[in-house]
Amino acid sequence: MEIVIEDLRKYYGAVRALDGVSLHVPGGMFGLLGPNGAGKTTLMRILVTLLAPTSGRVTVGGIDVMREPARVREILGYIPQEFGFYRSLTAYEMLDYIGTMKRIPPRARKRQVEAVLEEVNLTADAKRRIGTYSGGMKQRLGIAQALLGDPALLVVDEPTAGLDPEERIRFRNLLVRISGRRTVLLSTHIVADVEASCTGLAVLRQGRIAFAGTPEELVERARGRVWQLEVEPGEWEAVAARVQVVSSRTVGGRLQLRVVADENPLGRGVPVEPGLEDGYLAVSGTTLREGMLTHV
Amino acid sequence: MRDLTRRFLAAWRLELRLLVRHWAYPLLLAAWSAFVIYVFRDQAVISPEAALNRDLGHFSIGISSLAALLLGAAGAGRSQRTRFASLEESYPTGAEVLLGRWLAGVVALLPTQVAAVAIAGRAGPASSLWRGLPTFVLEATITVAFCTAVGWLLVSWLGPRRWVYPLLAGGWLGCLGLPVFLGRRNLGIPGAELLDFMRSDTGSYEELWGRLFEGALPVWFNLFYAGLAALGVALVVARVAARRRRRAPLVPAALALAALVVAAASATAYVQQVRAWEARAVDRGKPRPLPGPGDLATAAVETIDAWEIAVDLTDPASPRFDARFTLRNAGSEPITAATLTLHRDLAITMSSLPYARDGDVLTLTLSEPLAPGATRDLRLAYAGPIWAFIAGFDQTPYPVTFTAADGVRLAHSGGWYPVPGRMLAPPDWSEPTHPPAAFHLAVTVPEGWGVFSNLPATGDTTFASERATWVVLFASPRLRTEQVGASTIVAPEALLPRARALIPEYEAVLADLARYFPGPAPKGLTLAILDSLPAPGMPYQTPPAGCQPLVVISQSTPEDVKRYAFDRRYFIGTALAADLWSLAGGDPDGSSVFDGAQFYLWARHVAGDDPKRFEQELTASGMPYAAPVARALREVDVRHGEAGLREVIARMIAEEETLRSLEPDELAAWVREVAGAP
């Protein structure tokens, strides 16, 4: 399912959360990267009809999100950044209720609820109260509710925030598995999540699209600009001020840095093979300090 | 459509489940029920229907309105509190979910009325409970629906903030006194009680008439709040729809507009009725010339010796009357015209003589002069609805005479039959309205209706007396007549069990008092439980019905008389003694002779032979003027026993006319002298 975004703007007074965003999502699993406050969640909320834009146009499978939001909701599965359920219900009861809200006929509903519970590996805990679930289980239940009704579009906003590494990997794999027959729009600031799963991506920075393309194209943006070098601890501040530091670690009392820079930093850098994270930093201009990127 | 219904029901079921399975819900029910039970643990309840339609029911609904406000707010904010809202709003749903959840809140609160229903159910027959239950449930539902809608509306505007709850509770408390502040006794805004959404006003329920005294006010009141409830919900739906559908919410807006029109029209109709009734009510606060006792009877030179009136109540709202009466010239000069009084709203359809009307005054032109002492038989047919109001203590208009589809109350002062003279007695008149005359009354009523008149009954719906000075006629589908041994009960159906239980008590007092009166003791009595006394509509002192004492008591008296000695004496002692006095040939009305005698008889009945208790009764009576006579009679009783006392009372009755002028001490001396005391 194709998503077309044309000159989308969303202003909150003087704050420009989205400032002329245009993007074409052809389908498959598509990542939306950007630092905190880049406008990812605003864009997601507009896509899932929860928020009206200031101007611009968004179509999902040819359906205008602004004009026909009800039709978009019929083909939509959404996992917001923060969500909750009624704690006193069991997972089965909650999904059964949501299935009704998603207009799934009674006979198909039972089957679908059982299927999505199976899909997210919650069958054994389906009769437990949601209030007793761990964070990861609730996140999986969030996916389950989004999958109900077999939506053509799945919008996932910062899904792995707050999960432990094991849960995150499991969650990411699950997303990959279910993305085969639908469009999945994954918003995240964790590059590894996108790297592991997306066939296309866009980088959003300060309300604008900084990059749109494939992961390989993003990696290419960093080719010849990624260096590794060792510096004294006292030199860190000076280096970080001049180049983008991707990562750092201490080796034998010295700091080993991986940086993105157009020229060899300090003249003693060694060129290295770029990764997606390097590409991201290359297009976004975000430093390690300001982006708070997590290297996994 | 089936999908829509399915989602509505699913939302309703889930919300209901979340509410009733919450740990606080049973606590809420228990606390609410305990509060109702505590407040009404000692209060007398007339009947189940009365309880549900008055204090108990309204109190229960009133306090539930607070729970409805809070629960409505809690329900409206649940999705946001639990962070389910961001998921919920991405689902392809519409207003049906919101409506289902709101309705669940309403349904969840209805069990708060169970305690009131249970207390009411213990007060009388099940038939009364079933009759009152639908209206009670409907009114409770409307109030709860309104308050829940207010809670929803507030939270949908302000968000699920904690301070919304104290705000709602504070608003509820503030509204407690608002209608009184704005109402008749303060700012005087007509219809201000319409703002009393918690129904703290107890209304005007009468067991005999139901809520007839309120006219259409309950209908407009309920429609007003149903309209506001619908308006509140429609506004919430419109707000949500506008946000979610990104277009003008035409259907919810149209529904909101319709609800607003219903509420506004109902409020207008309510205020109009209040104004109309107020305009027709006699203002007790304004001084007006009142005829003195007996003035009405002697003011006219014309008098009527006999009435024969047929009342057709087939259409109770507009009765038809056929009056045949014998006019006599009581003056000393011949008369060519007779001046009578007949309520101005009654349209004359036939008259045996030409007539002219000026308000309530009816002038009949005689074809030839009527000589002094001569009589003439006349006939008059008339029809129409008549209503007469007085202002209650809180200035609430209160109908005294009325003809309505649910009941007919023709007070003796209502001008429903032609009386001699030119002054229609005020609605709250409590004296006789004409000189003694024969009166025959035949009433036709719809099937199942009961009839009461102060005249002795000669059949189910016929009454007759040879010395009537006033006549009332009550007819109601709820009124029943029942024979209990030698006594007769006339009471609303729901009060029959209580009336039956009272009969032995009254008969015991009657037997105790009757042995001191000359002549054979009456067998039984007629006990009538009508509407609220002391309501105007008939003289307080009802003469005996035929050869039996007639005791008319208020619907709320049966329980009260057991508790308060004064009321007990008033309703039992005075009423029975007065009728025994009348049956023995005396006239208890305004008679100090009777007062002294009846006071002693009652004190003796209560205190027996105990002189200390007797003195206590005298002191507690508040009737110092009757004490000297009572003490003298006690001396007679002690010295000469029952026979001696009966002899003295017989003399008191026989010589009443001359004794009336004596001072209490003089009368006491007379008693001692007659009894042969030293």
Nearest CB to A80 within list B82, B86, B97: B86
* pLDDT value, residue A293: 38
- The boundaries of the domain holding residue B327 are 283-473
A131 → chain B, closest CA residue: B82
Each residue of B658-671: pLDDT tens digit? 888 888 889 999 99
**Residues of B in Cβ contact (< 8 Å) with A50:** 86, 89-90
* Assigned domain for B498 exists: no
- Mean pLDDT, chain B, whole residue set: 85
For residue A157, the distance in angstroms to the closest alpha carbon of chain B comes to 12
Each residue of B8-27: pLDDT tens digit? 999 999 999 999 999 999 99
For residue A294, the distance in angstroms to the closest alpha carbon of chain B comes to 27
**Residues of B in Cβ contact (< 8 Å) with A142:** 87
What's the average model confidence in pLDDT over B212-224? 89
Gap between the Cα atoms of B356 and B362, Å rounded:
6
B389 shares a domain with B357: yes
B302 shares a domain with B433: yes
Nearest CB to B6 within list A82, A88, A100: A100
% of chain B with per-residue pLDDT over 70: 89
Per-residue pLDDT at B113 exceeds 90: yes
* pLDDT value, residue B268: 95
Q: Are B316 and B446 in contact (CB under 8 A)?
A: yes
Gap between the Cα atoms of B628 and B596, Å rounded:
8
How many separate domains does chain B show? 3
Contacts with A113 (C-beta within 8 Å, 6 or more apart), sequence order: A92, A95, A96, A99, A148
Interface of B with A in 225-244 (CB under 8 A): 243-244
Angstrom CA distances, B570 to B170, B342, B348, B639, stand at 46, 34, 41, 28
Query: How large is the angle between the packed helices A165-178 and A135-147, nearest 10 degrees?
Result: 10
B303 shares a domain with B237: no
Residue bearing the bigger pLDDT, B45 or B440:
B440
For residue B83, the distance in angstroms to the closest alpha carbon of chain A comes to 5
Where among B279, B307, B339 does a domain terminate? B279
Half-sphere exposure of A197 (CA within 13 A, CB side): 31
Contacts with B320 (C-beta within 8 Å, 6 or more apart), sequence order: B311, B312, B314, B349, B381, B382, B383
Angstrom CA distances, B638 to B307, B644, B665, stand at 48, 9, 19
B264 shares a domain with B359: no
Each residue of A17-61: pLDDT tens digit? 999 999 999 888 999 998 888 899 999 999 999 999 999 999 999
Task: Pick the residue of A75, A79, A101 with the most B CBs within 10 A to test the interface with B by mutation.
Answer: A101
Residue bearing the bigger pLDDT, B60 or B279:
B60
B193 shares a domain with B91: yes
B89 → chain A, closest CA residue: A50
Contacts with B380 (C-beta within 8 Å, 6 or more apart), sequence order: B321, B323, B325, B342, B348, B350, B351, B352, B418
* Assigned domain for B568 exists: no
CB contact under 8 A, A76 and B18: no
* Assigned domain for B642 exists: yes
Work out the angle at residue B289's Cα, subtended by the Cα atoms of residues B285 and B290, and round it to the nearest 5 degrees. 95
Q: Are B443 and B313 in contact (CB under 8 A)?
A: yes
**Residues of B in Cβ contact (< 8 Å) with A84:** 82-84
* Assigned domain for B418 exists: yes
- Mean pLDDT, chain A, whole residue set: 87
For residue B5, the distance in angstroms to the closest alpha carbon of chain A comes to 10
CB contact under 8 A, A142 and B87: yes
What's the average model confidence in pLDDT over A228-235? 86
Interface of B with A in 14-33 (CB under 8 A): 14, 18, 21-22
The tokens describing B388, both together, are: 């007469």
* pLDDT value, residue B675: 79
* pLDDT value, residue B391: 72
* Assigned domain for B517 exists: no
B327 shares a domain with B207: no
Residue bearing the bigger pLDDT, A171 or B223:
B223
The tokens describing B244, both together, are: 């979610």
Sign of CA dihedral A156, A157, A159, A160: positive
Per-residue pLDDT at A289 exceeds 70: no
Per-residue pLDDT at B204 exceeds 70: yes
B79 shares a domain with B128: yes
For residue A277, the distance in angstroms to the closest alpha carbon of chain B comes to 31
Nearest CB to A85 within list B7, B84, B89: B84
* Assigned domain for B230 exists: yes
Q: Are A171 and A139 in contact (CB under 8 A)?
A: yes
What is the H or E stretch that residue B165 is in?
helix B164-182
The tokens describing B102, both together, are: 């709101």
The tokens describing B420, both together, are: 């001699």
A71 → chain B, closest CA residue: B92
Contact with chain A for residue B82, Cβ under 8 A: yes
Each residue of B485-515: pLDDT tens digit? 989 999 998 888 888 888 888 888 889 899 9
* pLDDT value, residue B642: 87
* pLDDT value, residue B534: 47
Burial track B621-650 (b if 16+ CB lie within 10 A, e otherwise): beeeebbbbbbbbbebbeebeeebbbbbbb
% of chain B with per-residue pLDDT over 90: 43
Burial track B269-306 (b if 16+ CB lie within 10 A, e otherwise): bbbebbeebbeebbeeeeeeeebeeeebbeebbbbbeb
A89 → chain B, closest CA residue: B18
B569 pLDDT tier (thresholds 50, 70, 90): low
B84 → chain A, closest CA residue: A84
B294 shares a domain with B273: no
B411 shares a domain with B303: yes
Gap between the Cα atoms of B631 and B660, Å rounded:
18
CB contact under 8 A, A85 and B90: no
Q: Are B540 and B293 in contact (CB under 8 A)?
A: no
Each residue of B295-305: pLDDT tens digit? 554 456 888 99
Contact with chain A for residue B245, Cβ under 8 A: yes
Gap between the Cα atoms of B132 and B113, Å rounded:
13
* Assigned domain for B497 exists: no
What's the average model confidence in pLDDT over A211-231? 90
Per-residue pLDDT at B161 exceeds 90: no
* Assigned domain for B170 exists: yes
Where among B279, B299, B334 does a domain terminate? B279
Query: What phi-psi label fits residue A256: left (phi over 0), alpha (psi between -120 and 50 degrees) or beta?
Result: beta
Contacts with A128 (C-beta within 8 Å, 6 or more apart), sequence order: A90, A91
How many C-beta neighbours within 10 Å does residue B32 have?
22
Gap between the Cα atoms of B23 and B21, Å rounded:
6
Task: Pick the residue of A41, A66, A83, A102 with the most B CBs within 10 A to test the interface with B by mutation.
Answer: A83
B141 pLDDT tier (thresholds 50, 70, 90): very high
CATH of the domain at B437: 2.60.40.1730
Residue with tokens 């949501």: A98
Tell me which of A123-137, B237-251, B519-533, B567-581 is least confident.
Answer: B567-581
B292 shares a domain with B272: no
CB contact under 8 A, B6 and A74: no
Gap between the Cα atoms of B458 and B373, Å rounded:
30
* pLDDT value, residue B57: 92
Query: What phi-psi label fits residue A12: left (phi over 0), alpha (psi between -120 and 50 degrees) or beta?
Result: beta
Per-residue pLDDT at B71 exceeds 50: yes
CB contact under 8 A, A73 and B91: yes
Q: Are B366 and B339 in contact (CB under 8 A)?
A: no
* pLDDT value, residue B15: 95
Where among B416, B451, B473 does a domain terminate? B473
What's the average model confidence in pLDDT over B534-560? 66
B113 shares a domain with B71: yes
Per-residue pLDDT at B359 exceeds 90: no
Interface residues of A toward B, Cβ cutoff 8 Å, are 48-50, 52, 66-67, 69-70, 73-74, 76, 78, 80, 82-89, 97-98, 100-103, 106, 142, 145
Per-residue pLDDT at B151 exceeds 90: yes
A270-271 sheet: strands from edge to edge: A244-251, A254-260, A226-231, A270-271
**Residues of A in Cβ contact (< 8 Å) with B245:** 69-70
Helices (H) and strands (E) in chain B, counts: 21, 20
B270 shares a domain with B311: no
* pLDDT value, residue A141: 93
Per-residue pLDDT at A209 exceeds 60: yes
Each residue of B297-333: pLDDT tens digit? 445 688 899 999 999 999 999 999 999 999 999 888 8
For residue B156, the distance in angstroms to the closest alpha carbon of chain A comes to 16
Q: Residue B213's closest CA among B476, B389, B411, B446?
A: B389
Please state the pTM of the whole predicted model: 0.81
Per-residue pLDDT at B263 exceeds 50: yes
Gap between the Cα atoms of A28 and A32, Å rounded:
13
Nearest CB to A78 within list B7, B87, B93: B87
A144 → chain B, closest CA residue: B87
* pLDDT value, residue B88: 92
For residue A24, the distance in angstroms to the closest alpha carbon of chain B comes to 22
